[in-house]
A and B are shown apart, each in its own frame.
Chain A
Amino acid sequence: MSELLLGNQAIARGAWEAGVTFASGYPGTPSTEIIETLAARYPETNPRWSANEKVAFEEGMGAAIGGLRVLVTMKHVGLNVAADAFMVFPYAGTNGGFVVISADDPGMHSSQNEQDNRYLARMGKVSVLEPSEAQECRDFVIEAFKLSEQFNAPIMLRTTTRLAHHKGLVEVGQREEVPQREFIPDPKRFSVPIYRHLRRPIVEQTIEALRDYAETSPLNRIENSDNSIGVVTSGISYQYVKEVLPEAGVLRLGMSNPLPPKLLKDFCSRYETVYVIEEGEPFIEEYMRSIGISNLIGKELFGVIGEYSPGRLREALEISKVPTPFTEEITILPRPPMMCVGCGHRTVFATLRQLKTIVAGDIGCYTMGALPPYEAEHTTFAMGASIGTAVGLERAGQDRVIAIIGDATFIHAGIPPLIDAVYNGSKLTLVILDNSATGMTGAQPHPAAGKNALGEDAPKLDLVKLVEATGVEMVEVVDTWQRKDVRRVISKALAHDGPAVVIAQGPCQQLPDMKRRDFLPFVVEEELCTQCDACFKVWCPAITRTEHGFPIINTAECTACTVCAQVCPPEAIRLAEKPFAVKL
């Protein structure tokens, strides 16, 4: 039976078929749909959203040494957060099968950087599999579990945005129930720091055993060996090679760490020159050069920045030119995303814009606060960085610095820096955007949302108590749909002589409950409207202009947040009389 599946859905399917009984992850594009699919279709894998990637990894590690088959998922930068545990786990080795998904984002479609995590795997001596299409996403996950248990080694499956977010037909199979392996407590194995000298050689033995395996593994295969052009490739680039150079002799590396020296040397000896075509960094290429293979053309021709595509390969190989957009001849305005209609972040950013202070931002939908119309965010780096950056800016002489952070990001990596800010005497003002969702990645629940990954009720983290416990004296909660209150409370926090935290509450519009609710939208009464344009200044995308210059509210988009009505001097904006149909 074959199904049309997203790469990520195929990974979830493979994990289910492989008998996974524990799955943990943290939302992050392009990895998010794996846990979501497990939650929606395969609850017997016990999927969960963890508080951050480090926690997800460590929970998975514990479950695996406890004998379960475990899948852990995250985006590329998530592995930085989990790296501390990731680097040490190979010293102990696993018991039950352990596979971690690292979803890299060449082209940075939804990330702050490009980062080729095969290097992290090389550093940590972890084996890497790289599927090239949806079918292989399923197949390789199943294979990865077998390898993991055969070598007692954690395995990384590296995907990239195109792979994770493309759909293809996938032949699927049935679930194999795998008995739990016995956990035998063994401090000499699992208390790494104490016994590290005993474990260090084992790390080398394991990776070398995997290297031997790579020499003959069916994951690494040669195609069309009689052709005169030779290509070494991995990941989705393999599909581009098949498209652009269908006749070429190809060594396709399904396992890109550790790399097989004999196989590579043998393959390359058959050709005058060999193209190395791998998206991202010259990971395979550098290894090949390091073992003395020099008849290579790689990054100097294909480049390291951004995504590969068949068109890019054709141009690099001078097979054909690819047309470019008509930007020279006509204005093709960019269309960056913007905050949703009714998003509570809007009133907060309207206030920040007016206050004209330095704002250290963080990662989430509020990053869009740096764009017009708000332009009120001055730094953004990595999850949780807002608070530390603000404290540093304050030290560097910027007064009245505001840090702004989403609730998910605060829980993920914002708590230690807040503790530090108080401890080291900062007078920081922190705004926590409490929308009960991890909005940016698709409104997943988190510990302060009161729901878990399966949509069940879960204990709800009390953000006010948590912040109070850090020693912050001024903690105030405000409703983001009340624009005057937002302004008043943030101004008060700024004026406070000491660290102050504002918890700005308003649900994310992408939450299922918000999409499903019934409500009356707002309408403009033209007889009362004086065309003063005050409502346009709340920058709601649902408000446009009629031919006669009056504002008009798109009732299909209106969320009844009331903010436009709050600013209308003649009170011309009022509730509609008829309810609007439930939104899709």
Chain B
Amino acid sequence: MDKLHNLMFAGVGGQGSLLIAELTSMAAADAGYDVKQTEVHGVSQRGGSVETHVRFGKKIYSPIVTPGEADVVLALELLEALRFAHYAYPGKGIILVNDHEIIPGSVSGAEDMYPHNAKAFLRDKKMNVITLKATQKAHELGDGRIANVVMLGALSTLIDIPSQSWQKALKLRLPTRYLDGNLKAFAAGEQMVRKENAAV
């Protein structure tokens, strides 16, 4: 309980990174932590880069996570993982990334300039990278939009929040008609990390 947790969520507007950050904050609050979260919104529905910081522990002052201090950087897209990779704690921090590329729509020549070598780059930097095919998994589950919750399930295996708090947050925050699909996505994410970790 005394440990301070710093998490960074990154994604593209519309992918639901804010939603999973919020679910994490709710779960952490339920687990008895002090929590602060900061997000920058305003134009985030429209395909821009979105970052949300979540911090929890015994007592939290600043809502902002400082670069180099994140326990986990969770990115829903590879370019966004690169953009925020320097937030990860050198050596200890984990970059949990959805193996998925979205080409920026309002940058000319983006298609040719997109860094397709993001994964290799991060590994070369000796970062602890866990890549998951969450978008693919979400499509298999029948709804590409729940990749964010697959990633959240994966995150839940890496941080100290009890399972019942996650379940409570999901139930409280999500509309009932989507709850089942999201619970499945969450469970799928948990399993994917366990497999990935077993393979390492």
- Beyond contacts A133-B36, A169-B34, A337-B106: 12 other A-B pairs, Cβ-Cβ < 8 A, are A167-B22, A168-B63, A239-B63, A322-B68, A330-B82, A330-B118, A331-B115, A335-B83, A337-B47, A338-B46, A372-B108, A440-B42
Residues of A within 8 A of B118 (CB): 330
Asked if B37 CB lies within 8 Å of chain A CBs, one says: yes
Question: Using Cβ atoms and an 8 Å threshold, which residues of chain B touch A324?
Answer: 67, 86
Q: Are B66 and A309 in contact (CB under 8 A)?
A: yes
Task: Bin the interface of chain B by size.
Answer: 35 or more
* Given known A309-B64, A337-B43, contact A165–B38 (CB-CB < 8 A): yes
Interface presence of A325 (CB below 8 A): yes
The prevalent SS among residues of A at the interface is loop
Q: Which of B54-84 contact A (CB under 8 A)?
A: 60-64, 66-68, 79-80, 82-84
Kindly name the residue among B62, B85, B104 whose own CB sees the greatest number of chain A CB atoms within 10 A.
B62
8 A Cβ contacts from B80-95 to A: 80, 82-87, 90
Given A4-B25, A109-B40, A165-B39, the answer on whether A335 and B47 have CB atoms closer than 8 Å is: yes
A439 CB to nearest B CB, Å: 9
Decide if B41 is an interface residue (CB 8 Å cutoff): yes
Q: Looking at the complex, which one of A110, A134, A338 makes contact with B106 (CB distance below 8 Å)?
A: A338
A-B contact count (CB 8 A): 160
Distance of A322 Cα from B42 Cα, bound (Å): 27
Establish whether residues A556 and B144, one from each chain, have CB atoms under 8 Å apart when the complex forms.
yes
- When distances are taken between beta carbons in the complex, the residues of chain A under 8 Å from B113 are 331, 333
Chain B residues near A133 (CB-CB < 8 A): 36, 63
Q: Is the CB of B36 within 8 A of A584?
A: no
4 shortest interchain CB distances as A-B pairs = A337-B48, A110-B42, A29-B42, A166-B63
Q: Shortest beta-carbon distance, A406 to chain B, in Å? A: 14
| A338–B106 CA distance with the chains assembled, in angstroms | 6
> Which has the most chain A C-beta neighbours within 10 Å: B34, B39, B61, B145?
B61
- The interface bits of chain A over 439-480 (1 if a CB of B lies within 8 angstroms of the residue's CB, else 0) are 011000000000000000000000000000000000000000
Which of A29, A239, A322, A541 is B47 in contact with, Cβ under 8 Å?
Answer: A541
Given contact pairs A162-B38, A510-B45, A310 touches B79 in the complex (Cβ within 8 A): no
Q: Is residue A365 contacting chain B, with contact meaning CB distance below 8 A?
A: yes
Q: How large is the interface on A (under 10, 10 to 19, 20 to 34, 35 or more residues)?
A: 35 or more
Instruction: Point out which of B40, B85, B86 has the most chain A C-beta atoms below 10 A from its C-beta.
Output: B40
Q: Is the CB of B13 within 8 A of A239?
A: no
Q: In the docked arrangement, what's the CA distance between A539 and B110, Å? A: 13
Residues of B within 8 A of A242 (CB): 61-62
Tell me the nearest residue of chain B to A134, going by C-beta: B36
The answer to whether A169 touches B46, judged by C-beta atoms less than 8 angstroms apart, is no
Over the window 15-47 of chain B, the binary record of Cβ atoms lying under 8 Å from chain A Cβ atoms (1 yes, 0 no) is 000000010011001000011111111111111
Partner of B41, one of A29, A169, A339, A556: A29
A4 to B41, CA, bound (A): 17
Question: What residues of A have a CB within 8 angstroms of the CB of B82 in the complex?
Answer: 326, 330, 332
Cross-chain contact A326 with B125 (CB below 8 angstroms): yes
Q: Once bound together, how far apart are the Cα atoms of A529 and B42, in whole Å?
A: 39
Chain A residues lying within 8 Å of B66, measured Cβ to Cβ, are 309-311, 314, 322
**Nearest B residue to A584 by beta-carbon distance?**
B145
Complex CA gap A181/B47 in Å reads 49
> In the complex the two chains form, what is the Cα distance from A338 to B115 in whole Å?
20
A307-332 interface code vs B (CB 8 A; 1 in, 0 out): 00111001000000011111001111
Closest-CB distance, B12 to chain A (whole angstroms): 7
B63 CB, min distance to chain A CBs, angstroms: 4
Judge if B200 is at the interface, Cβ distance under 8 Å. no
Q: How far is the CB of A377 from chain B (nearest CB, A)?
A: 13
Determine the chain A residues whose CB is within 8 A of the CB of B42 once the complex forms. Answer: 29-30, 109-110, 440-441
Say whether B49 faces chain A, with CB atoms less than 8 Å apart: yes
The residues of A that contact B145 with a CB separation of less than 8 Å are 556, 584
- Whether A161 pairs with B106 at a CB distance below 8 angstroms is no
Question: B107 an interface residue at 8 Å Cβ cutoff?
Answer: yes
Choice from B25, B61, B106 contacting A167 with Cβ under 8 Å: B25
Selected A-B contacts with CB under 8 Å, 18 pairs: A29-B42, A110-B42, A133-B63, A167-B25, A239-B62, A310-B66, A323-B67, A326-B86, A330-B118, A331-B114, A333-B104, A333-B110, A334-B104, A335-B49, A336-B106, A337-B44, A371-B106, A539-B105
Closest to A545 in B: B111
Contact A310 B34 (CB under 8 A): no
A333 and B79 contact, Cβ closer than 8 Å, known pairs A109-B40, A323-B86, A339-B46? yes
B197 interface hit (Cβ, 8 Å): no
Q: How far is the CA of A240 from the CA of B39 in the complex (A)?
A: 17
Q: Which residues of B contact A168 (CB under 8 A)?
A: 35-37, 60, 63
Cα of A331 to Cα of B82 in the assembled complex, Å: 9
Q: Tell me the complex Cα distance, A323–B83, Å.
A: 12
Min distance, Cβ A1 to any Cβ of chain B, angstroms: 12
